[in-house]
Amino acid sequence: MKKKQVTLLELAKRLDLAPSTVSRALNNRHRISEATRTRVKELARKLEYQPNPLAKSLRESKTYTLGVLVPEIANNFFARAISGIEKTAFEAGYTIVLSQSFESLEREQQVAENMLSSGIDGLLVCPSCETTDFDHFSSFMRRDTPVVFFDRIGIDFEASKIVVDDYDGAKKAINYLWEKGCKRIAHLAGPEPLSVSKARKAGYLDGLKQNHIPIDEDLIHECSFDPRLIRNKVNQLMDMDNPPDAILAFNDQVGFHTINALKEKGVSIPEQVSVICFGGQFFTANVTPSLTTVVQPAFNIGKEAVKLMLAHLDRDDKISDTETVVLKTSLIIRDSSR
């Protein structure tokens, strides 16, 4: 005979608590004491209580599901950010629906539309490198479904954002290179539409000015993530009459391919050219030479993005009072720089 499933109301009755209090305790909500939380969870375990997601959704007009849209799951930065998102969401009683744009605006628009139609409670998104128009996220706001951007952001789009201080990270890198005697520092910049590309380039330029290093536009090259293009840009730089003695690369992948291109050309790293990149992916410590990196706190980016989302979902007006949280970078010195 099938065992009768214990309901939330039965838990509340046995504990002499309001059903709403039991629900908040089970979902680790705020304003519940640790003692009450422990009592509720112990009885729930003892009685093998399992929540009814359909009843919960109907009762609260929520699915307890968050959409997560990233450019590429294979990128270790996004993988770590997703880990932070999923852990924090799970602890708050939410599940995630994950998809990737593969750096395509068209796919990003399609996925966003599908997620909105599926009834997610909110969307956490890192836009594609092709995204310059953020209108496809406006439909979320019209449906009172909050959007939180992380890492890459829609600067003029009214939504909460979690960003890294890429500007300061680039300046740290330039200051370090200057202290080590580098005088001609090139920049392999990211795609122009990206907010992070603009911030890193601005930090690079202001770092040069701060250290009284002349700005040479011939040392600045925008590049995609194509290894062949990166190799061509590095060759152009090293074939100059007065080549650079350091390169600040947009991200870890660009830094990795920069090192390979320099080695192919017979350039000694870091004796002739120092290389610093952005990101902090695990492989940067294991390449030869190991990469000096401006590290982004990817896990914490994901964690803070969910915390911002939960703050929106706890309000009656879910899309008001937007907030921007800025996280700091750190510079890890390895063998690719002097």
Say what the pLDDT of residue 66 is: 97
Say what the pLDDT of residue 274 is: 98
> At residue 2, does pLDDT exceed 60?
no
CB 269 within 8 A of CB 252: no
pLDDT by residue (tens digit) across 148-177? 999 999 878 889 999 999 999 999 999 999
Question: Pairing relation of β-strands 274-279 and 292-295?
Answer: parallel
> At residue 107, does pLDDT exceed 90?
yes
DSSP 8-state symbol, 165: -
Q: What CA–CA distance (Å, rounded) separates 258 from 196? A: 19
Tell me which amino acid residue 155 is: I
For domain 63-164+298-328, give the fold: Rossmann fold (3.40.50)
**323: pLDDT confidence band, cut at 50, 70 and 90?**
very high
CA geometry: angle at 163 spanning 159 and 165, to 5°? Answer: 140
> Cβ neighbours of residue 95 under 8 Å, at least 6 residues apart?
64, 65, 66, 89
Say what the pLDDT of residue 52 is: 63
Q: What CA–CA distance (Å, rounded) separates 112 from 68? A: 9
Q: What CA–CA distance (Å, rounded) separates 213 from 205? A: 9
H or E stretch at 161: strand 160-164
Domains 63-164+298-328 and 166-296 share a fold: yes
Percent of the chain at pLDDT > 70 equals 96
Percent of the chain at pLDDT > 90 equals 72
CB 96 within 8 A of CB 86: yes
Question: Cα separations (Å) of 93 from 72, 89, 187, 246?
Answer: 25, 6, 44, 48
**184: pLDDT confidence band, cut at 50, 70 and 90?**
very high
Q: How do the domains of the chain map onto residue ranges?
A: 8-59, 63-164+298-328, 166-296
CA max distance for the chain: 85
Mean pLDDT across 58-75: 84
- Cis peptide before 71, with omega less than 30 degrees from 0? no
Q: DSSP string of 80-112? A: HHHHHHHHHHHHTT-EEEEEE-TT-HHHHHHHH
The pTM assigned to this predicted structure is: 0.79
> At residue 304, does pLDDT exceed 50?
yes
Question: Cα separations (Å) of 232 from 261, 270, 321?
Answer: 8, 20, 46
**pLDDT greater at residue 207 or residue 194:** 207
H or E stretch at 247: strand 246-249
Say what the pLDDT of residue 275 is: 98
For the domain bounded by 8-59, which CATH number is listed?
A: 1.10.260.40
Look at the alpha carbons of 236, 283, 151, 98 in this order and tell me if their dihedral is positive or negative. Answer: positive
Length of the chain counted residue by residue: 338
Architecture of domain 166-296: 3-Layer(aba) Sandwich (3.40)
> At residue 54, does pLDDT exceed 60?
no
